[in-house]
């Protein structure tokens, strides 16, 4: 094995997404921002669209895992509690820099942080709502957003008193398990998000909340942090976590972090195409999507309508 | 100008919604714009990344067929379909047999070393491609000197004659497209003209800068 300038281990290609997100930090000139609807409540969707594209590109997911629906569901839920949020979209915001910070690229993170802080201050945001656990931790702890309240969307919906209307009589009882994200749970020294998503799920009248074998601060990780690696060991962690969900007989495994959704969805997809694999018969989805599906009405943002997502996997040697 | 193409894909994708609540229209527009933005940026990132691997690495995998045992690990792990498995025939005086071996499809190999890493018997080694050499532990190109990179010169020659109007070159412009000797002269002499028309050299510089920042990144191995 030849020694290159990066060393032997450096040459495994990492996801294109890292490169895309890193390259956002190169140009930090502030563009001209025209926000059509200004509000002191701002919703930041994060990188969910990038996950969708990455998953499609990596041939890991075809139509199973929908990250973009988190955006749609969050807007629907926020409108249901009477908030018309301003959207901090990715045409002028940058990635929060969580991955860059935790991979040690501190300079890249600091450039992103300074840029985002300037934009948030400029737009006069008072309440910063995010649907991503990593974004919640990063904006709350690693940014210096004085005077801006950073909340996870489940916290905000809980304190605003989201009401889920009674489900139709024909709806059958479902068992719902919740995966505590590391970043907004045990790695969040102040204001961890444990109770709010559970309380919200309990408001769905045909849903029964079941706890996994490990939960709250002891909750096992979904297996991968920041999409940094995927190997047999991380897949083992993911599989053991999903085994816990099937052990308690869950119909839904809810997550509050888009990356947990990615990794669970990836394993779910991998096993789905194996004949005779019946272990993971439950659905994996984000908690916002689960709640928004229980609300009447359509998604105000439209949905993630990409025809490619519905296609079956291409025939290939890895099939 | 873009009105006609944008109107056409909308009906299948999203129902026409300008009649609805302006807030809803705002949310829909932002949503679709973000999705398109992610796709566009991702495409760009993939292009840059691939070029960087193909052009910048300068390494190539070779298989030592005496050691290769045909386990197909490299075949399964190659992301670029640069490895194929073939049956080699071995003829002894009284005995003929076949054995499965890996071969490298050199056109597809980008030198990512993944096959060399997964090989259980270390049958795959990385060598430099033609035109590259190892110097101080780095793979450097032996042919292209830094001040005048090769890809820049032909790219510079072609768009020049096509876009002369902003440039201050009235008299010699008609004969220039036919002259082969003219483009290199121009690339050297008019310095104010060099930066604006070409995105390519800027991209390369950006890539180099990215490469330098990339050293702190951590690899990821994605297996379907």
Q: Using the predicted structure, report yes or no on whether residue B139 has a pLDDT greater than 50.
A: yes
Same domain (yes/no): A105, A191: no
A129: domain CATH number is 3.40.50
**CB nearest A49 (choices: B34, B45, B221):** B34
Q: Using the predicted structure, report yes or no on whether residue A307 has a pLDDT greater than 60.
A: no
Nearest CA to CA, how far is A205 from chain B (Å)?
Answer: 29
Q: Give mean pLDDT, residues A239-253.
A: 87
The parent domain of residue A284 ranges over 174-293
Interface of A with B in 34-73 (CB under 8 A): 36-37, 45, 49-50, 52-54, 57-60, 68, 71-72
**CB nearest A37 (choices: B13, B26, B224):** B26
Contact at 8 Å (CB) between A145 and A120? yes
A289 within a domain of the structure (yes/no): yes
A188 within a domain of the structure (yes/no): yes
Same domain (yes/no): A72, A114: yes
Provide the pLDDT for residue B53. Answer: 56
B152-205 pLDDT per residue, tens: 444 444 444 444 444 444 444 444 444 444 444 444 444 444 444 444 444 444
**CB nearest A16 (choices: B24, B31, B42):** B42
Do A13 and B79 count as a contact with CB atoms less than 8 A apart?
yes
Count of the separate structural domains present in chain A: 2
Residues of chain B in contact with residue A314, where contact means CB-CB under 8 angstroms, are none
Same domain (yes/no): A22, A139: yes
Q: Using the predicted structure, report yes or no on whether residue A155 has a pLDDT greater than 80.
A: yes
Provide the pLDDT for residue A77. Answer: 92
Q: Report d(CA A286, CA A288) in Å as an integer.
A: 5
Provide the pLDDT for residue A306. Answer: 54
A195 within a domain of the structure (yes/no): yes
Write down the ipTM of this complex.
Answer: 0.78
Q: Where in chain B is the domain with CATH 3.30.70.3270?
A: 60-144
A254 within a domain of the structure (yes/no): yes
A100-139 pLDDT per residue, tens: 888 888 888 999 999 999 999 999 999 999 999 999 999 9
Provide the pLDDT for residue A29. Answer: 87
Confidence category of residue B209, pLDDT binned at 50, 70, 90: very low
Do A58 and B210 count as a contact with CB atoms less than 8 A apart?
no
Under 8 Å CB pairs connecting chains A and B tally to: 179
Quote the mean pLDDT of chain A: 81
The CATH architecture of the domain made up of B60-144 is 2-Layer Sandwich (3.30)
Does residue A192 sit at the B interface (CB-CB below 8 Å)? Answer: no
B89-112 pLDDT per residue, tens: 777 787 777 788 899 988 878 887
Which is more confidently placed, A9 or A37?
A: A37
Does residue A286 sit at the B interface (CB-CB below 8 Å)? Answer: no
């Amino acid at each position: 094995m030849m020694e290159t300038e990066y060393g032997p281990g450096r040459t495994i290609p990492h996801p294109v997404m890292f490169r895309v997100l890193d390259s956002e930090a190169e140009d930090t000139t502030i563009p001209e921002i025209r926000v059509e609807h200004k509000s002191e409540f701002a919703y930041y969707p994060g990188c969910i669209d990038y996950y969708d594209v990455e998953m499609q590109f990596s041939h890991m997911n075809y139509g199973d895992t929908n990250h973009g629906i988190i955006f749609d569901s969050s807007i629907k839920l926020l409108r249901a509690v009477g908030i018309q949020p301003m959207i901090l979209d990715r045409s002028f915001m940058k990635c929060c820099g969580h991955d860059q910070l935790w991979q040690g690229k501190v300079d890249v993170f600091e450039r992103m942080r300074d840029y985002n802080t300037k934009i948030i201050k400029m737009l006069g945001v008072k309440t910063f709502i995010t649907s991503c656990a990593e974004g919640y931790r990063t904006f709350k702890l690693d940014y210096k957003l004085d005077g801006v309240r950073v909340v996870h969307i489940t916290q905000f919906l809980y304190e605003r008193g989201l009401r889920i209307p009674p489900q139709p009589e024909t709806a059958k009882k479902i068992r719902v398990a919740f995966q505590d994200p590391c970043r907004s749970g045990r790695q969040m020294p102040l204001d961890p998000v444990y109770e709010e998503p559970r309380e919200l799920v309990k408001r769905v009248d045909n849903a029964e909340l079941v706890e996994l074998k490990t939960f709250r601060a002891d909750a096992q990780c979904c297996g991968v942090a920041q999409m940094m690696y995927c190997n047999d060991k991380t897949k083992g962690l993911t599989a053991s976590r999903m085994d816990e969900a099937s052990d308690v007989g869950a119909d839904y495994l809810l997550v509050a972090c888009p990356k947990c959704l990615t990794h669970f969805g990836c394993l779910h997809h991998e096993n789905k195409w194996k004949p005779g694999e019946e272990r993971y018969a439950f659905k994996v989805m984000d908690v916002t999507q689960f709640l928004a599906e229980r609300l009447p009405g359509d998604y105000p943002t439209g949905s993630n309508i990409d025809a490619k997502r519905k296609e079956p996997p291409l025939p290939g040697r890895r099939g | 100008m873009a009105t006609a193409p944008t109107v056409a894909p909308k009906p299948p994708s999203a129902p026409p919604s300008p009649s609805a609540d302006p807030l809803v229209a705002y949310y829909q527009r932002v949503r679709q714009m973000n999705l398109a933005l992610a796709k566009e940026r991702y495409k760009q990132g993939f292009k840059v990344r691939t070029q960087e691997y193909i052009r910048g690495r300068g390494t190539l995998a070779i298989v030592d067929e005496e050691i290769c045992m045909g386990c197909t690990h490299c075949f399964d792990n190659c992301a670029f379909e640069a490895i194929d498995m073939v049956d080699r025939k071995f003829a002894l005086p009284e005995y003929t047999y076949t054995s499965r071996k890996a071969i490298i499809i050199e056109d597809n190999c980008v030198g990512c070393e993944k096959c060399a890493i997964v090989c259980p018997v270390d049958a795959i080694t990385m060598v430099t491609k033609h035109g590259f050499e190892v110097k101080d532990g780095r793979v450097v190109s032996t042919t292209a000197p830094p001040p005048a990179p090769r890809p820049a010169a032909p790219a510079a020659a072609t768009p020049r004659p096509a876009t002369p109007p902003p440039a201050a070159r009235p008299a010699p412009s008609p004969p220039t497209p036919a002259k082969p000797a003219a483009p290199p002269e121009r690339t050297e002499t008019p310095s104010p003209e060099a930066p604006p028309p070409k995105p390519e050299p800027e991209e390369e510089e950006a890539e180099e800068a990215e490469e330098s920042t990339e050293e702190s990144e951590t690899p990821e191995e994605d297996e379907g």
